[in-house]
Amino acid sequence: MRSFMPARIHVPSLAVLSLVLASASSAQMPAPDSTIQRWINERVANGYATGIVVGMRDGTRDRIVAAGGAQRDGRPVGGESLFEIGSITKVFTNILLADLVLKGEVALEDPVQKYLPAGVKMPSRNGKEITLLDLATASSGLPSLGNNMAPKDLRNPYADYSVQQMYDFLSAHTLRRDPGERYEYSNIGMGLLGHVLGLLAGKSYEALLRERVLAPLGMRETYIVVPSDKAARFAVPHNADLDEESPWDLPTLAGAGALRSTTRDMLKFADAVTHRDRGPLGKAITFSIAPRRPTTIPNMRIALGWHVREVGGKTIVWHNGGTGGFRTFFGFDPASGAHAMVWSNTSSSVDDLGLHLIDPTVPRQPALAQRNEAVPAETLRGYVGSYALAPTFVIAVTEEQGKLYAQATGQPRFRLWAESATNFYLRVLPAKVRFAQDSSGAMTLTLEQGGQQQKATRK
């Protein structure tokens, strides 16, 4: 679950991979709690988020700063609140993989086909098979999602995608490039990785993850299915317009983004990744964070699931997450141990804040309230339709009560805010959409994101 462009999500939108890159300077002290409190209070006050929780650990002291938000029981969000962490799940899947590799139970070079049931055929190209390493480094050649994904409920788009549908997609899919050739963020690829590890062990992904990763780290409040006695602490999800959203369920692609956790529990994870010389999974974590392949993002390489940002001699190992009503970030500096996590129960990016807390030379973006021009509903209805930016990546534009929305394949619906009658922007991520008529009178949509433009004609 990443960005709005087909080459970017996870990230799908289990995460939104968009970063501000800056040159590193001399080390700076982390911001005090009072400063962090002011920053997140501003974001809540101006409508950028309903609630935010920041977590860090100084020595043996947990630092948790929270603002706004609400749990299902009506209390404000805090260190014990449960959030969907989205694609941060991917790093747990890959620590599990690393543990299995180091114990000789699998090899990174193993073809995925080896672990699938008879009758399921993995796609290959030019004699090259997709390996576990290809899935772990988002370089399998598989797209973001299967083209047979047709959710009945767009507010919970992964809930009814079945294992058989995944198998059908894999058996019929033709790769556009050789496995291992190029980075392309894939939720179905990472979901498949979690699935085959479960098949190997003869148990569910969640049971295997709890046995091999969560229990050894003492993480007792990280779940896929939240127990009924914990449900009151689940943070109420919201979209970027602050409207209440639905939680997401990912039964088949659980390894790509199904985990829910608390800040308090994730601080145990932070301790494990920043003190890899101790603890039961130190070697597996160290193995998982070693960069393996380049990405298509400047100054970024990919490890096993983790993204490794390298700027000015400084390294940050990180991942973010995004579901229909949550945005999350977790990262750390493997040299200094500096780390941060930021959880929001609103689908507006928190990456900049997380990165800034680890490395103050990374700019913290001001979350200013943004203006919106009034555009007649009749004009907005003229843009409604489907725009295919790629064969498996379609943006559906809809209008409701004088508001325009866009929903990309496998992602939540985002509102389009008007700069003019034809130009719109998204608050949830740095992207713009422009509508125009071509010479034949057909309506076109141009997506501007990450310095790139993609154009499609309405179907």
The answer on pLDDT for 14 being more than 80 is: no
* Lookup result for tokens 């229990």: 215
Angle, alpha carbons 381-382-385 (nearest 5°): 85
DSSP 382-426: TT-EEEEEETTEEEEEEEETTEEEEEETTS-EEEEEESSSSEEE-
CATH of the domain at 108: 3.40.710.10
Same-domain pairing of 333 and 423: no
Same-domain pairing of 40 and 145: yes
When pLDDT is averaged across residues 351-377 and rounded to a whole number, the result is 83
The answer on pLDDT for 134 being more than 50 is: yes
Q: What is the pLDDT of residues 238-270, one digit of tens each?
A: 988 788 999 999 999 999 999 999 999 999 999
Expressed as residue numbers, the domain containing 330 is 33-358
What is the DSSP-derived secondary structure letter of residue 79? T
Q: Own/partner pairs for 158-162, CB < 8 Å, 24+ apart?
A: 158/248, 158/249, 158/250, 158/251, 158/252, 158/253, 158/410, 159/248, 159/249, 159/250, 159/251, 161/250, 161/251, 161/252, 161/253, 162/252
Same-domain pairing of 87 and 174: yes
Token code pair at residue 64 = 């948790």
At residue 356, the pLDDT reads 94
* Cα separation, 102 vs 256, whole angstroms: 22
Same-domain pairing of 335 and 400: no
Q: Is residue 366 part of a domain?
A: no
When pLDDT is averaged across residues 110-120 and rounded to a whole number, the result is 97
Q: What is the pLDDT of residues 257-310, one digit of tens each?
A: 999 999 999 999 999 999 999 889 999 999 999 999 999 888 999 999 999 999
**Residue 128 · residue 178 · CB < 8 Å:** yes
**Residue 116 · residue 169 · CB < 8 Å:** no
Q: What is the pLDDT of residues 69-86, one digit of tens each?
A: 999 999 999 999 999 999
Same-domain pairing of 285 and 426: no
Same-domain pairing of 335 and 388: no
Using a pLDDT cut of 70, give the percent of the chain over it.
Answer: 92
Residue 458, number of CB atoms within 10 A of its CB: 17
Same-domain pairing of 313 and 391: no
Q: Is residue 21 part of a domain?
A: no
What one-letter code names the amino acid at 278?
R
Q: How many residues are given for the chain?
A: 459
Same-domain pairing of 318 and 397: no
What one-letter code names the amino acid at 363?
P
Q: What is the pLDDT of residues 206-238, one digit of tens each?
A: 999 999 999 999 999 999 999 999 999 999 999
Strand partners, 400: 403
Token code pair at residue 343 = 């959880």
Angle, alpha carbons 208-225-76 (nearest 5°): 130
Where residue 189 falls among pLDDT bands split at 50, 70, 90? very high
What is the total count of domains within the chain? 2
Q: Is residue 13 part of a domain?
A: no
* Lookup result for tokens 């997506």: 447
Which range of 127-136, 360-369, 416-425 scores highest in mean pLDDT? It is 127-136
At residue 240, the pLDDT reads 81
Q: Is residue 16 part of a domain?
A: no
Same-domain pairing of 384 and 353: no
Q: Is residue 372 part of a domain?
A: no
- Pairing verdict, β 385-390 and 339-344: unpaired
Q: What is the pTM of this model?
A: 0.82
Q: Give one word for 124, left, alpha or beta, with left for phi > 0 and alpha for psi -120 to 50.
A: beta
At residue 242, the pLDDT reads 86
**Residue 301 · residue 359 · CB < 8 Å:** no
Same-domain pairing of 353 and 439: no
Same-domain pairing of 132 and 265: yes
Where residue 28 falls among pLDDT bands split at 50, 70, 90? low
Q: Is residue 84 part of a domain?
A: yes
Where residue 29 falls among pLDDT bands split at 50, 70, 90? low
Angle, alpha carbons 236-329-75 (nearest 5°): 25
At residue 410, the pLDDT reads 74
Token code pair at residue 140 = 């399998």
CATH of the domain at 425: 2.40.128
Q: Is residue 14 part of a domain?
A: no
* Cα separation, 200 vs 111, whole angstroms: 13
* Cα separation, 190 vs 210, whole angstroms: 18
Chain mean pLDDT for the chain? 91
Same-domain pairing of 348 and 420: no
Where residue 371 falls among pLDDT bands split at 50, 70, 90? low
**Residue 46 · residue 368 · CB < 8 Å:** yes
Token code pair at residue 238 = 């919201």
Q: Is residue 20 part of a domain?
A: no
Domain's final residue, options 324, 358, 392: 358
The answer on pLDDT for 98 being more than 90 is: yes
